[in-house]
């Protein structure tokens, strides 16, 4: 049945597809936008709050009269923590729902599943999670932070307080592996040393061997890049061995799924973290924003940190770009975003870096203390890492790749 | 009477097959075809387990190994070669070969039942951990980065043999997959009608008796297992081509359990049941993901329990016995 | 010397916690030939029952050692009464039913309890061994595992109920003919296995945390361990748990954690290749 004719027709149908992205909204007709989050399955702990933050942004836009006189109509899909659904739903959003933008995704694998699809089908994609960095694609914008910045700041803070001999515990995962490379580089830069480095498959939850190795090495500080529910077992075992009183602990991932309210304070007190947002931030924007969030969703949502909050920024930034462009048409919106557009938000001002399509943002050093994060320090307008200027979408707009940083 | 019924079954299969291959692509929209393609890819995988378990009597909890190996083989080979014909063949042969080796390991030692289930599951999980631990630029085969848990993205699509620029995507991939599904279904049906097929079923029914009658149980089981591996590998190839990616998740416990569920929902010991069970479960999951009426796990879990309570043997056998019951009731009423 | 002692304790702890995770499944599989794929979720429910009861102000030990087993035991009673019993030992139907139950319980926990239930810190202090420190809770886990196994053996060996259970297991028709109520025996065995899973879930909760999906980290290892143990489930599971727990932890000590995970699986495969019906398929047949 695969005759030449049907094949060519198929190919024509496929090449006709991009045209759908060119549709622009007429006033009063709602603007369709797409969202894919993990609202069930193992990643639900992340997805629920991501969607709450995204919906807050969308509702706020609609309550303020919508965009260009039209309401936003969000097509929401639950990817159930399964990659195949990201694939199905990304195609559906681009081909059937013909949305102006797609936002969402959590894991790097989910992003790398939908990013090529949306690139091919000319549908703008905004990804709002901290990730290992390196994506360089004109059709793609990232509001999340990459580990290069975070580990630099953390190790500097550790050197100021405790010392420069660091022991690294990381998920045996791309994010963990690349973070570990950054940590080695940052430690070197500070004249310090990585005295131990261990990687854990995502479902390992026995850390006895690791803890006794750390006790033998006696590092100045332990830095962890754990991912997922199994690794959470570490904190209880660490505290049970009394180590939380002996060796300081830092993390670039702790807090993303409300660990701070789920784990007893005597277990997690003192863990030092870094991120763009914590509920305890006392800036004026957050003073209004957080009560608004709680008014809509109640208080039974856990604790917000920078992973879910980026979804609010993602949608708000996109809306700002649409207002500036005067249309939801993809090319015009990309150009508007590339003017270095910025918005204020609960974690401070965030703006787009036109070169990498990543963001400048305020970053905060914080410490877990009695079910809350206590802010220790603020770093203003931290720039996204772009080692050796690998990515330059202004000079080379046709780039469509994911660089592995040459660290 | 039997003769007519067999003809009717054949006619029904041909009708469903041609509807799948000819009618649906003509009327359905492109995103529907895209989604259906995945259902059919999975249906091929479900057939492979329905064959190995339902007819070969081999309780395999690691059918995902052959699926995943097919997907990874295709992805790695096509990234290196740029043309999909050889990778496609490799993606079928390698899993078949692994099934052969594994089968030798299992059947010559007379490992069966739950013990076989544990070994096949363990093999799948070993693949899961090893592919998962392959993050970083050190782990590459040729130009293909293995990518750890992120998997291999941007896998090139299947192309018309000899013409790398003529790719088979969307509607065309649907047609190709539907043909493959029909071919696998027809092939397995045909195989069951041969002497070999009768020996396979005889062994499932009573292994000792078959052996006493002089059949080589080991080699027969090995052949069944290898064929199952090849079919699962084909499904894996199509999956990687469909989604342009493959990741260690294909080796996970969740995925391998899903295959078992498809087969059981449809009914063990039937081929059509595997296809129907698979499409129904996948369609239900997709629908729940779109509409979010309730937590997917909650709904699916409850549905499986209810199904088992009312049709212990699965949908197809359950419907059959329901129909038979109705028929006899009608007859007695007359 | 200190190091050897610490390594030894960690190995012991790994074996004990694996045995604890498996024991409920072993009882149910050994006595009823039912593979309970919802086993991981039974542990999860045990963990939640403990954490919620302790959070409500109940005494920690009552919550852990009484409430959690009781809640999961009650759950087991309902599951046996309304699902397992109707499947009449059909192993294939029970696979689908318990898998469905597993999904249902995960979905229920995610919907009702959500993702922000506060856990419980490991009680007790620590003990210093040279430059190493080990949580006293580690000893508690080892003790609970050993006591549970010893109590089970003693009960099966010497009590009248244990005798009935063994009899019904070996030959249900004969046991029924001799007047034993096999239906009630099957039900109470399922409840016992469930309660033991609840206990394990609660005891491990301070070290592993509680989340709706936590069961997935247990169920695969438990399944592999119990089956590798062979037909004589209790002895077999204890031996297999010791072997696998030792192997994976030793490999993790010598190399990296992923090697530990893979080593466990390889040992299981080789073991079943050498002993195709599990450890107790060939040896220890007279054991319990």
From residue B281, give the alpha-carbon distance in Å to each of A139, A369, B249, B300. 34, 46, 18, 8
C99-150 pLDDT, tens digit per residue, is: 999 999 999 998 888 777 788 888 888 888 888 888 889 999 999 999 999 9
- Neighboring chain A residues of B21 at a CB cutoff of 8 Å: 1
Q: Is B119 on the interface with C (CB under 8 A)?
A: yes
B304 interfaces chain C, CB cutoff of 8 Å: yes
Place of tokens 């072997």: C243
* Closest Cα in chain B to A107: B150
* Residues of chain A with C-beta less than 8 angstroms from the C-beta of C7: 209, 212
Cβ-based contacts of B170 with chain A (< 8 Å) = 10, 13-14
SS (H, E, C) chain B: CHHHHHHHHHHHHHHHHHHHHHHHHHHCCHHHHHHHHHHHHHHHHHHHHHHHHHHCCCCCCCHHHHHHHHHHHHHHHHHHHCCCHHHHHHHHHHHHHHHHHHHHHHHCCCCCHHHHHHHHHHHHHHHHHHHHCCCCCCCEECCEECCHHHCECCCCCEEECCEEEEEECHHHHHHHHHHHHHHHHHHHHHHHHCHHHHHHHHHHHCHHHHHHCCCCHHHHHHHHHHHHHHHHHHHHHHHHHHHCCECHHHHCHHHHHHHHHHHHHHCCCCCHHHHHHHHHHHHHHHHHHHHCCCCHHHHHHHHHHHHHHHCCCCHHHHHHHHHHHHHHHHHHHC
What mean pLDDT is predicted for residues C66-87?
A: 94
Q: Is C278 in Cβ contact with B129 (below 8 Å)?
A: no
Query: Cβ contacts of residue C181 below 8 Å, gap of 6+?
Result: none
Mean pLDDT, range A313-324, rounded to an integer: 96
Chain A: partners with 3+ C-beta pairs within 8 Å: B, C
SS3 C132: strand
Residues of C in contact with B313 (CB under 8 A): 93
Contact B16/A at CB under 8 A:
no
Max mean pLDDT range (B33-47, C28-42, C173-187) = B33-47
pLDDT-based confidence at residue B2 (cuts at 50, 70, 90): low
- A-chain CB neighbours of B285 within 8 Å are 80, 85
Phi, psi of A300 (to 5 degrees): -95, 55
Mean pLDDT of C279-283: 74
**Beta-bridge mates of residue C127:** C134
Model confidence at A21: pLDDT above 60: no
Considering only alpha carbons, which residue of chain A is nearest residue B135? A174
The tally of domains found in chain C comes to: 1
Range of the domain at C161: 2-215
Taking the CA of residue A350 and the nearest CA in chain C, the distance in Å comes to: 29
Interface test with B, best of A88, A110, A140 (most B CBs within 10 A): A88
pLDDT above 70 for A11: no
Mean pLDDT value across residues A220-236:
90
A387 to chain C, any CB pair closer than 8 A? The answer is: no
A14/B136 CB distance under 8 A: no
Mean pLDDT in residue range A281-291: 95
| Contact of A296 with A63, CB cutoff 8 Å | no
Whether A184 and A117 share a structural domain: no
Size of interface A-C (CB pairs under 8 A): 138
- CA-nearest residue to A218 within chain C is C131
| Greater pLDDT, B21 or A74 | A74
- The answer on pLDDT for A17 being more than 80 is no
Average pLDDT over residues B303-316: 88
B289/A contact by beta carbon, under 8 A:
yes
In this complex, do A262 and C115 lie within 8 Å of one another by their Cβ atoms?
yes
C96·B313 Cβ contact <8 A? no
Is residue A237 within 8 A of residue A263, CB to CB? The reply is no
Those of residues 31-50 in B touching chain A at CB distance below 8 A are 31, 34-35, 38
* A251 in the same domain as A166: yes
Higher-pLDDT residue of C171 and A377 is A377
**Residue B277 token pair:** 């069970």
Task: Return the closest-CA partner of residue B244 out of B38, B26, B43, B90.
Answer: B38
Tell me if C216 sits within 8 A of C40, measured CB to CB. Answer: yes
* A227: closest chain B residue by CA: B149
Mean pLDDT score of chain C, rounded to an integer?
88
Q: Provide the shortest C-alpha distance from residue B321 to chain C (in Å).
A: 17
Q: What is the Cα–Cα distance from C124 to B99, expressed in whole angstroms?
A: 51
Establish if A266 belongs to a structural domain.
yes
Does the beta-carbon distance from C100 to B313 stay under 8 Å? no
Number of domains chain A contains: 2
pLDDT of residue A250: 96
Both A86 and A182 in one domain: the answer is no
- Of C10, C131, C133, which is closest to A242 when you measure between CB atoms? C133
CB B21 within 8 A of CB B178: yes
Q: Which two tokens stand for residue A336?
A: 């508007």
Residues of the domain holding A162? 147-275
User: Is B201 at the interface with chain C, CB within 8 A?
Assistant: no
Contact B242 A108 (CB under 8 A): no
Lowest mean pLDDT among A14-23, B30-39, B116-125: A14-23
pTM score: 0.90
Q: Do C272 and B297 touch (CB under 8 A)?
A: no
**CA of C148 to nearest chain B CA: how many angstroms apart?**
26
Contacts of A263 in chain C (CB under 8 A): 118-119, 209
- Chain A interface mutation, best of B26, B30, B162, highest count of A Cβ atoms under 10 Å: B30
Q: How far is CA A131 from CA A48, A108, A128, A179, B31, in A?
A: 19, 7, 9, 10, 29
Looking at chain B from residue 128 to 167, which residues have their Cβ under 8 Å from any Cβ of chain A? Answer: 129, 132-133, 135-137, 147-151, 153-154, 160, 166-167
Angstrom CA distances, A406 to A199, A389, B154, C267, stand at 20, 11, 21, 39
Q: Is residue C222 part of a domain?
A: no
CA distance B114 to C261: 21
pLDDT digits (tens, 9 = 90+) for C144-181: 999 999 999 998 888 888 888 777 777 777 777 777 78
Q: What is residue C65's DSSP assignment?
A: I
Nearest CA in chain B to C92: B264
Tokens of A346: 């609960």
Kindly determine whether residue B312 and residue C90, on different chains, have CB atoms separated by under 8 Å: yes
Instruction: Look at residue A124 and tell me whether its pLDDT is greater than 60.
Output: yes
Q: Do C217 and A40 touch (CB under 8 A)?
A: no
Instruction: Please answer yes or no on whether A95 and B34 come within 8 Å at the CB atom.
Output: yes
CATH number of the CATH domain containing A225: 3.40.50.2300
Partner A contacted by B242 (CB < 8 A): yes
> Do B122 and C265 make contact, defined as CB atoms within 8 angstroms?
yes
Q: For position B312, what pLDDT does the model report?
A: 81
| Subunits in contact with chain C (3 or more CB pairs closer than 8 Å) | A, B
- List the one residue out of A7, A93, A27, A56 whose CA is nearest residue A304: A56
Chain B residue with minimum CA distance to A172? B133
What is the arithmetic mean of pLDDT over B184-198? Answer: 94
- B window 247-266, beta carbon within 8 A of C: 253-254, 257, 260-261, 264-265
Q: How many CB pairs under 8 A join B and C?
A: 124
Instruction: State chain B's mean pLDDT as an integer.
Output: 90
- Residue C153 belongs to a domain: yes
Three-class SS state of C277: coil
In a domain, residue C250? The reply is no
Please check the confidence at residue C216 and state whether its pLDDT lies above 60.
yes
- Mean pLDDT, chain A, as a whole number? 89
Do A123 and A13 lie in a common domain? yes
Do the chains contact at C266 and B126, CB–CB below 8 Å?
A: yes
**Three-state SS for C281?**
helix
This model of the complex carries an ipTM of 0.89
Q: Which residue of C has its CA nearest to B53?
A: C92
Q: Cβ contact (<8 Å) for B30 and A11?
A: no
Model pLDDT, residue B139: 87
Q: Does B111 touch chain A (CB under 8 A)?
A: no
In a domain, C241, yes or no: no
Q: A198: distance to nearest CA of chain C, Å?
A: 7
The answer, yes or no, to whether residue C189 has pLDDT greater than 60, is yes
Return the pLDDT at A177: 87
Which chain A residues touch B137 with a CB distance below 8 Å? 404
Task: With respect to residue A159, please indicate whether it lies within any of the assigned structural domains.
Answer: yes
3 state SS of C211: coil
**Chain A: closest CA distance from residue B255 (Å):** 10
Q: What is the pLDDT of residues A166-202, one digit of tens each?
A: 999 998 888 888 899 899 988 998 999 999 999 988 8
């Amino acid at each position: 049945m695969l005759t030449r004719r049907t094949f060519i027709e198929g190919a024509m149908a496929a090449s006709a597809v991009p045209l759908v992205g060119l549709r622009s909204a007429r006033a009063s007709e709602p603007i369709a936008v797409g969202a894919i989050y993990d609202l069930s399955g193992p990643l639900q702990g992340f997805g629920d709050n991501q969607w709450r933050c995204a919906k807050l942004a969308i509702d706020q836009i609609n309550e303020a009269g919508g965009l260009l006189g039209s309401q936003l109509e969000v097509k929401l899909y639950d990817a159930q923590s399964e990659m195949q659904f990201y694939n199905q739903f990304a195609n559906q959003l681009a081909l059937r729902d013909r949305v102006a933008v797609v936002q969402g995704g959590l894991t790097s694998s989910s992003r790398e599943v939908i990013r090529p699809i949306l690139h091919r089908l000319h549908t703008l994609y905004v990804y709002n999670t901290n990730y290992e960095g390196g994506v360089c694609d004109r059709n793609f914008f990232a509001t999340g932070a990459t580990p290069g910045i975070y580990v630099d700041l953390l190790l500097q803070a550790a050197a100021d307080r405790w010392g420069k001999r660091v022991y690294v515990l990381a998920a045996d995962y791309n994010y963990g592996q690349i973070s570990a490379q950054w940590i080695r580089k940052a430690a070197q830069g500070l004249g310090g040393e990585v005295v131990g480095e261990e990687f854990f498959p995502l479902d390992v939850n026995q850390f006895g061997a690791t803890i006794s190795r750390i006790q033998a090495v006696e590092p100045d500080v332990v830095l962890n890049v754990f991912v997922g529910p199994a690794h959470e077992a570490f904190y209880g075992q660490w505290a049970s061995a009394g180590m939380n009183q002996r060796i300081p602990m830092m993390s670039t991932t702790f807090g993303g799924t409300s660990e701070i309210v789920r784990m007893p304070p005597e277990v997690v007190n003192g863990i030092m973290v870094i991120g763009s947002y914590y509920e305890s931030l006392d800036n004026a924007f957050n003073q209004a924003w957080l009560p608004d969030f709680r008014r809509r969703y109640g208080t039974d949502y856990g604790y917000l940190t920078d992973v879910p909050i980026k979804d609010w920024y993602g949608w708000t930034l996109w809306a700002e770009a649409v207002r500036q462009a005067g249309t939801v048409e993809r090319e015009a919106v990309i150009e508007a975003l590339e003017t270095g557009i910025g918005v204020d938000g609960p974690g401070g001002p965030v703006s787009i870096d036109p070169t990498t399509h990543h963001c400048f943002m305020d970053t905060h050093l914080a410490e877990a203390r009695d079910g809350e994060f206590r802010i220790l320090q603020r770093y203003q307008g931290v720039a996204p890492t772009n080692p050796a200027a690998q990515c330059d979408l202004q000079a080379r707009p046709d780039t469509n790749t994911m660089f592995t940083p040459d660290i | 009477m039997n003769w007519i019924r067999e003809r009717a079954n054949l006619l029904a299969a041909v009708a469903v097959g041609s509807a799948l291959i000819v009618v649906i692509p003509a009327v359905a929209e492109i995103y529907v075809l895209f989604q259906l393609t995945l259902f059919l890819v999975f249906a091929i995988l479900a057939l492979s387990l329905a064959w190995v378990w339902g007819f070969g009597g081999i309780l395999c909890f690691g059918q995902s190994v052959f699926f995943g190996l097919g997907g990874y083989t295709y992805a790695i080979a096509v990234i290196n070669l740029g043309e999909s014909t050889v990778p496609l063949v490799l993606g079928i042969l390698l899993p078949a070969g692994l099934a052969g080796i594994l089968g030798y390991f299992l059947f010559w030692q007379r490992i069966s039942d739950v013990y076989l289930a544990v070994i096949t599951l363990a093999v799948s999980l070993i693949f899961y951990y090893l592919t998962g631990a392959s993050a970083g630029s050190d782990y590459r085969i040729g130009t293909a980065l293995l990518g750890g848990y992120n998997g291999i993205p941007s896998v090139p699509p299947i192309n018309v043999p000899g013409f790398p620029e003529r790719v088979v995507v969307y509607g065309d991939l649907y047609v190709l997959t539907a043909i493959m599904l029909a071919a696998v279904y027809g092939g397995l049906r045909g195989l069951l009608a041969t002497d070999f097929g009768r020996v396979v079923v005889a062994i499932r029914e009573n292994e000792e008796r078959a052996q006493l009658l002089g059949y080589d149980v080991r080699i027969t089981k090995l052949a069944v297992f290898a064929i199952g591996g090849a079919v699962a590998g084909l499904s894996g190839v199509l999956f990687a081509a469909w989604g342009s990616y493959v990741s260690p998740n294909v080796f996970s416990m969740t995925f391998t359990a899903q295959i078992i569920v498809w087969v059981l929902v449809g009914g063990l010991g039937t081929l059509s049941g595997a296809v129907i069970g698979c499409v129904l479960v996948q369609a239900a999951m997709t629908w729940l993901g779109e509409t979010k009426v309730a937590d997917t796990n909650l709904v699916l879990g409850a549905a499986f329990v209810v199904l088992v309570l009312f049709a212990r043997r699965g949908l197809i056998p359950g419907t059959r016995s329901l129909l038979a019951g109705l028929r006899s009731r009608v007859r007695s009423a007359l | 010397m200190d190091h050897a002692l610490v390594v030894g304790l960690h190995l012991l702890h790994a074996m004990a916690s694996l045995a604890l995770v498996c024991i409920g499944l072993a009882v149910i599989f050994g006595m009823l030939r039912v593979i309970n794929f919802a086993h991981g979720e039974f542990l999860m429910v045990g963990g939640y029952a403990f954490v919620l009861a302790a959070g409500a102000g109940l005494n920690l030990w009552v919550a852990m050692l009484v409430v959690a087993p009781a809640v999961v035991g009650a759950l087991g009673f309902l599951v046996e009464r309304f699902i397992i019993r109707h499947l009449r030992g059909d192993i294939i139907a029970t696979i689908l039913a318990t898998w469905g139950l597993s999904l249902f319980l995960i979905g229920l926990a995610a919907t009702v309890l959500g993702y922000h239930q506060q856990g419980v810190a490991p009680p007790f202090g620590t003990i210093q061994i040279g430059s190493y420190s080990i949580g006293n809770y580690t000893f508690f886990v080892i003790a609970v595992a050993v006591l549970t196994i010893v109590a089970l053996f003693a009960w099966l060996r010497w009590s009248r109920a244990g005798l009935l259970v063994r009899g019904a297991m070996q030959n249900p028709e004969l046991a029924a003919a001799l007047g034993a109520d096999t239906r009630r025996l099957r039900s109470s065995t399922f409840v016992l296995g469930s309660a033991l899973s609840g206990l394990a879930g609660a005891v491990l909760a301070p070290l592993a945390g509680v989340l709706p999906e936590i069961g997935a980290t247990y169920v695969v290892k438990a399944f592999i361990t119990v089956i590798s143990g062979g037909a004589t489930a209790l002895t077999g599971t204890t031996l297999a748990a010791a072997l696998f727990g030792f192997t994976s932890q030793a490999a993790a000590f010598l190399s990296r954690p992923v090697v530990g995970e893979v080593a466990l699986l390889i040992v299981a495969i080789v073991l079943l290749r050498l002993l195709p019906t599990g450890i107790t398929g060939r040896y220890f047949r007279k054991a319990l």
